[in-house]
Structure formats: C-alpha cells, structure tokens
Amino acid sequence: MQDRSQYSAAASLLGYIYQCRLALLESLKRLKPDPDIAVAIETLDDVVFEKGGSPTEVIQVKHHIARKASLTNASTDLWKTIRIWYDLFSGGLSEENSILCLMTTEESAENSAARHLRIEGRNITEAETLLLQTSQTSSNESNRESLLIDNDLEQYDDTLIEEWAIRFDPPEIAALLNPAFCGFLMSTGLDAYTQNVNEGVPYAFPFVMLPLVLHKPTRQAFPRSSRTAFSAWITNADTVIAKVGFAERAKNMAPYVKEALAFAMQHNSIYVTESGRLKTLNPAPKLFPNATQEVNECARAALMCGKWFSMVGDFKTAMALLGVKP
C-alpha cells in the first residue's frame, strides 16, 4: 500500500463519515418511539435532531484517530464544545427544550467534569465547580503554556495577526516570527521526533528548536545528515556560533514560541498528551515548492532538530550542551 500524501484529507473525511454513521445510528434509535423526528448534519451543530422545525437535541461529535487521550477538565475538545453551545444559547436556542450531548472517541477522566456530566452518576454541581476552577487557573500564564485553555482562543490568532505589523519592523522579521510559520516549524520538528519516540516530544523542545532553526548562522552550520550526532556537532569548534548567545536568544524568543504553540493548537495541528508531552495531529508538509529558499532551509533545519533530539535520550542532556536549563 502506498503511503498517504502529506497533504491527505483522510482524517477529515473519516471524521465526517463517522459523523454520518453516528447520525444514522442515533436516528434508528429514535425513529421507533418518535417517527416524526428529523435529523440534520452540520447545521446548528455536528448532528441535530428536530421536531416540527425546532431543535430538540444537539450533538457535538469529536473523532480522533491520532491520539488516545482522556477528556480532562482542561481538554480543548470540551472547552470548544462549551463555547459552541454558549453561542447557540446566545443565538436563541431554548435551554428548556433542548438536550446537549458531546459524543467523543476519548474517555472521560476519573472525577472529571465530563465524567460528572454523564447520564450515569450525573452531578451537575460538581461538574460546574471543576469547570469554574479550571477556567480560573487557565487564565494564568503557566497554565496557558501547558494547557492553552483560553475562552477567546478562536479570536486569538486573529489578534496576533493584527498586532504583528505593529510589533515588528522590518516586515522580514515579522514573516520569520509569525505564529503560523513558527507553528509549521514546530509541527515539522515534532513529526520527525515522533518517528523515533512515539510517546511524544518534551514540552521544552520548541523553546530550544526555534532559536536554533531561526538563527541563520546556526542553521547554515547544521551538518548535511542527522548521522552526525548532536553532541558531536555542538562540541565541534567550528560550530561554536550555535552556543554563543543561545541562552539569550532562547529567552527572548520564548513569548513567540508560546504564541506559535497556541496558534498550532487552535488550528488542531499540535496537542498536549496526558503526560504533558507534545504530538502532532496531522503531518506537516516538509517543503513548499513555491516557497523561498529561507523557508525551505528552516523546514529542513526543523526536520534535522526533530531527528537529532529524538536520539539524544534525555532531552535535558541536549539543553545542558546548549548551556540552558528547562
């Protein structure tokens, strides 16, 4: 069997097929007791049951094939669903006559809000308490770094783009540090890393990778192949340029790394596992045929970093070689 193209839409198609099959299954369950029920797909929500033209049940469907995670209190799927339902109620959906349901391939974590909202053992008060606690803690910077739960995530990328032209001059720097491009480089590096280490990538990885990749003298000093071990390369006298000023560059770039990570998660490119490691949902394109030489150089360098650091063993070792700490 041929490998799927890196631009494959198979995952999206599978999700839509799953949605259709779920709608059919749930329709069959409801038709016998209520033959007048009607079903719609991708209208108010993923699957909507109506009677007399009014919605009676709204179902949000989340299907994942690339991850096996739990639906925790900080789950992006859970908070996006809540936001969608909030918008529906704001738009006039009746709270009294509508049933809201989230159906997902993920499992609800023990003692989580999602577990308390199941039909069995339902405890709305406890679920509300847990969600309010999460919303409060997620507003601080450290929690946003790791979980990236933000009530305004859907507007976050628009805000970044609007601010970019103001924050950077010349525009070449803005292009290099914009969250979409940096998120693409992160995904490229993560893809390469997880080819060797399936459990995911340390959260500190993009904070080390981007200062290496985006620094032109360092990038151009990379070896041709990952067969040259990172430890051998970084300790070579000819590549001392990589270590000079690296700690300061990494510190200065940290805010842009965080923004790029938020952007990538908002666009379902990267997610955080239960163990706090990073993984990609969809493979990133390795090269762009019509891109500039610098863009493709950065992509190759990100690929190199992913392969390199996956073979280091303890990621702290790589950081120590660069003179920085987690």
Q: CB of 238 within 8 A of CB of 272?
A: no
Torsion of CA 117, 121, 127, 128, to 10 degrees: 90
| pLDDT of res. 271 | 86
Q: Is residue 15's pLDDT more than 80?
A: no
Residue 219 and residue 296 in contact, taking contact as beta carbons nearer than 8 Å: no
Tens of pLDDT along 118-153? Answer: 988 899 999 988 888 887 665 434 334 434 434 444
User: How many CB atoms lie under 10 A from the CB of residue 10?
Assistant: 11
Q: Retrieve residue 90's tokens.
A: 């704001």
Task: Give tens-digit pLDDT for 81-109.
Answer: 888 888 788 777 887 778 899 998 888 88
* Separation of alpha carbons 63 and 19, rounded Å: 8
Q: Tell me how far CA of residue 85 lies from CA of 24, 44, 51, 151, in angstroms.
A: 22, 9, 19, 13
pTM: 0.50
Rounded Cα distance, 268 and 262, in Å: 10
**4: pLDDT confidence band, cut at 50, 70 and 90?**
very low
Q: Per-domain residue ranges for the chain?
A: 10-137, 153-322
Residue listed under structure tokens 């007048």: 36
Task: DSSP letter for 284, please.
Answer: P
Burial of 136 per CB tally in 10 Å (0-12, 13-18, 19+): exposed
pLDDT value at 174 more than 90: no
Contact status, residue 230 vs residue 301, Cβ threshold 8 Å: no
Q: How far apart are CA 79 and CA 83, in angstroms?
A: 6
